[in-house]
């Protein structure tokens, strides 16, 4: 019985969970996750999990609090049903941007989420492209941190004429440099100033983008202000055209409208979180699947094999 694997899903992204289960040649396990009339979360596990290796696929995307509570309560239900090990599969880790005290009297919310998950019974976490790698250290349990790089690199390679990788801010330089090195192409950086949350002003470009196809790379696109202002700055500095890639298409507020009317030719994202209906209608947004990558990681975790070769 201990060798049996079960894949569960909350309501955050059932399509991704189904894809993962399909890659593993497994059915998606049964669980009822709904709300009481007052908004409280109700969970009932629909099958036996005693002694089994259980994976709960639940990116904590919008509405973040609902999906986080679904995950926490599902894990508690599975622990009380005597699951042998519970792994939280979180392709997108909510509250990741609050990972340190950068002002007086502010929380470290990413640590709070980690504590919640450990307390209710999560014994391993599988995540992808954390906003800050140090979040792994907030857990006292194993964290397997995957990257969407293999999927994005396959798309970028041979797709563009005379490309150059561009980091939209200083914080993403390491990520962008790794892509540029793998593709053997140049690197540029946007110098920007952020006056208040979710708003920024791009100032100038460090690097030569004249006559080149600029490819902006970020871990997430939220309101898209950073990307759109960066694209305009790149064109002013002589870039031939601008494309963008990111792992997590948060796309909140005016993001889709901004992208539609921006200088960005295409925005390539993964299916780590589901696209809003408005974003699905945007012709500039292309979605790549990471379900096979996550499925392979789950298979290796279950079989106690090395996952490090997936850490590209």
Q: Tell me which residues are annotated as active site.
A: 192
CA dihedral 200, 91, 111, 84 (to 10 degrees): 180
- Cα angle, residue 186 at apex, residues 183 and 189 outer, rounded to 5°: 120
From 207, 201, 202, select the one nearest 238 (Cα to Cα).
Answer: 207
């Amino acid at each position: 019985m201990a060798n049996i694997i079960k894949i569960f899903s909350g309501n955050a992204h059932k399509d991704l969970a189904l894809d993962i289960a399909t890659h593993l040649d497994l059915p998606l396990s049964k669980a009822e996750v709904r709300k009481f009339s007052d908004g409280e979360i109700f969970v009932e596990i629909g099958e036996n999990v005693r002694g089994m290796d259980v994976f709960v696929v639940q990116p904590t995307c919008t509405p973040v609090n609902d999906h986080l509570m679904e995950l926490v309560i599902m894990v508690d239900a599975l622990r009380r049903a005597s699951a042998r090990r519970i792994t939280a599969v979180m392709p997108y880790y909510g509250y990741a941007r609050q990972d340190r005290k950068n002002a007086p009297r502010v929380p470290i919310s990413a640590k709070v989420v980690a504590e919640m998950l450990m307390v209710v019974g999560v014994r391993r976490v599988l995540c992808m492209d954390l906003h800050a790698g140090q979040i792994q250290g907030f857990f006292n349990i194993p964290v397997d941190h995957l990257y969407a790089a293999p999927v994005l690199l396959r798309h970028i390679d041979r797709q563009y004429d005379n490309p150059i990788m561009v980091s939209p801010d200083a914080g993403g330089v390491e990520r962008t440099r790794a892509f540029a090195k793998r593709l053997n192409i140049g690197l540029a950086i946007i110098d920007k100033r952020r006056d208040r949350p979710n708003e920024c002003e791009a100032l100038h470009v460090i690097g030569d983008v004249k006559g080149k196809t600029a490819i902006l790379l970020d871990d997430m696109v939220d309101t898209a202000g950073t990307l759109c202002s960066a694209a305009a700055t790149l064109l002013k500095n002589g870039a031939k055209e601008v494309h963008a890639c990111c792992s997590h298409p948060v796309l909140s507020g005016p993001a889709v409208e901004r992208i539609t009317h921006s200088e960005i030719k295409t925005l390539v994202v993964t299916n780590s979180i589901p696209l809003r209906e408005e974003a699905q209608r945007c012709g500039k947004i292309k979605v790549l699947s990471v379900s096979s990558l996550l499925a392979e990681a789950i298979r290796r975790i279950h079989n106690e094999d090395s996952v490090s070769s997936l850490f590209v």
